[in-house]
Chains A and B, each alone.
Chain A
């Protein structure tokens, strides 16, 4: 209740600002946010932080356990694992963010139009989504790999092409409920319609669930990339990602456990952080709490 009183005292505080204040009080979510910031900084500053290039082979230091020179040890080709973990994080985080942004842009506008317009248009648009759902994902990726050159861009496209479907469905459901709300009817009675209505009145009101879902999409995309890399369909040597590193490490975990432990802890910490943040956001944006 004190939230409401405070809000009334200071005009201009949006629901987002309220949510941010609630989020700040959620320890798990804030811890997640801090972890994400640290991991992102490490990945961004990788060239400055590591003394070795991610693809530099050192034949004098093959499969060295962690020591003062190689903090995370080296792999069976003598490459520094600290450098490779940070560079791998760049790819994993980038895939996660780009694919999520693609799914946001495509899914939110598609779902909002489908749900708001309704009727035959809605049926048609949703059948298209269902057809795309039915395409087996691995088959799609292999097909893309065969048709085009293997590249990191293809992974973005393939994952984005699958992830926006869920987002479109979520936003469509929201839009269908929103268009019956009184403020939408009031806006209609004021002569607002079409794209203006969708842009100004429908989409902003779907953003709560969308933001939550997006934070849960990032870790899923990172996992999908890891999975593709594990199958050998992902990034190409010598470039690496957490998925590739873990798959290599898993092979040698009995003799060189550090090759698995370090990339796996980075991945796990990031996934946990995203999930905590998503949970926190869901609580912070929950309208029933207001």
Chain B
């Protein structure tokens, strides 16, 4: 049985301009211990998809569909039951470690809070386990660091603390939403190493949300590509890079800067813009930017074609 099975999940936001569809009828399954990458540009709905699972959407957002986690539908759970899952069975690591820690509480207090909330641990026990977790995550002198405040930590260290916090309750699923985007490149590499090392010590499945194909390539087993609120391609990570099926994915890969390119050459890019969420066409949302566009692309929405685990939402794949 899958750890998490999402069926037909849609997320809509009611705004003064109308109803904005952020995620449209997404289905996906995550197996225990699997590491899955979610790739897409800003506004593709990749973050909202997972915020919706945890009931963390903004007040004007509404999620429909089903999301079975350990046999329970997350979208139908009352808030109290969701609270017991958040931070305990499913933990989240956010993009900006600079603003995700409470500036007025020590690191130790904030780490211990997770354990006392979910595991009913005593303060002393919680501190002991927090220190052990900091050591595991590569922070020197953990006992002393517990007494420090967030502003005394660098960005990379804060992200380590956030990851430690996510790991504390031994979650079954960790959702990392752009965990390296706010960090500089060397720190990025350290944090990615940290995630890679987790495989040996943690049973948790990992969802890595990123717009950076390189980050996903180095860390994930399987990749889902999102565009304009939908999944457009799903593939094992090697297959995606070797043989991208959807024209959007091909465009993304072609846009990666090439080391061999001459310095003055303009960087390749996909022409055009994604459609406004309020005015998405009835057919394929990528049609206006697609080099292979056909008349039927604008008339009907292409479903995901192909065998499970290797699918692409493009009519070109239908014949194949």
Contacts and interface: CB of A to CB of B under 8 A. Distances in A.
B131 interface: no
A136 interface: no
B14 interface: no
Interface string A1-37: 0001001100111110000000000000000000000
Nearest to A208: B104
Contact of A14 (B104, B113, B114, B144): B104
A99 to B, nearest CB: 26
Nearest to A207: B104
B315 interface: no
Contacts of B86: 188-191
Interface core residue of B101, B103, B114 (most chain A CB under 10 Å):
B103
Contact of B152 (A11, A193, A207, A290): A11
Nearest to A11: B148
Nearest to B88: A191
| Interface size class of chain B, counting residues whose CB lies under 8 Å from the partner chain | 20 to 34
A191 B87 contact: yes
B92 interface: yes
Interface string A174-207: 0000000111011111111100100011001101
B93 to A, nearest CB: 9
Contacts of A189: 54, 56, 86-87, 91-92, 94
Interface string A122-149: 0000000000000000000000000000
Contact of A182 (B84, B91, B100): B100
A186 B51 CA distance: 11
Contacts of A12: 106, 144, 147-149, 152
Nearest to B96: A182
A190 B101 contact: no
Contacts of A15: 103-104, 149, 151
A11 B102 contact: no
Contacts of B151: 4, 7, 15, 290
A191 B83 contact: yes
A185 B57 CA distance: 10
Interface residues of A, number: 27
A209 to B, nearest CB: 13
B113 A190 contact: yes
Majority secondary structure of chain A interface residues (helix, strand, loop or mixed): helix
Contacts of A183: 99-103
Contacts of A7: 151-152
A196 B117 contact: yes
Given A14-B104, A188-B56, A8 B152 contact: yes
Contact of B113 (A181, A182, A200): A200
Interface in A159-185: 181-183, 185
A206 to B, nearest CB: 10
B149 A13 contact: yes
Q: In this complex, which of B85, B94, B151 has the most chain A Cβ atoms within 10 angstroms of its Cβ?
A: B151
Nearest to A14: B149
Contacts of A14: 104, 106, 149
Contacts of B165: 190
A211 to B, nearest CB: 12
B104 A205 contact: yes
Contacts of A207: 104
Given A188-B86, A189-B86, A192-B117, A182 B104 contact: no
Nearest to B102: A183
Nearest to B89: A191
A288 to B, nearest CB: 14
Interface in B105-163: 105-106, 113-114, 117-118, 144-145, 147-149, 151-152, 162
Chain A to chain B: the 9 pairs with minimum beta-carbon distance, closest first: A190-B87, A11-B148, A191-B87, A204-B104, A191-B86, A186-B100, A189-B92, A182-B99, A12-B147
Given A12-B106, A190-B91, 13 more contacts: A11-B152, A13-B152, A15-B151, A182-B100, A186-B92, A187-B113, A189-B87, A190-B86, A190-B113, A191-B118, A192-B113, A200-B105, A204-B104
26 contacts: A4-B151, A11-B145, A11-B147, A11-B148, A11-B152, A12-B147, A12-B148, A13-B152, A182-B100, A185-B94, A186-B100, A189-B87, A189-B91, A189-B92, A190-B91, A190-B113, A191-B84, A191-B85, A191-B86, A191-B118, A192-B87, A192-B113, A193-B79, A204-B104, A205-B104, A290-B151
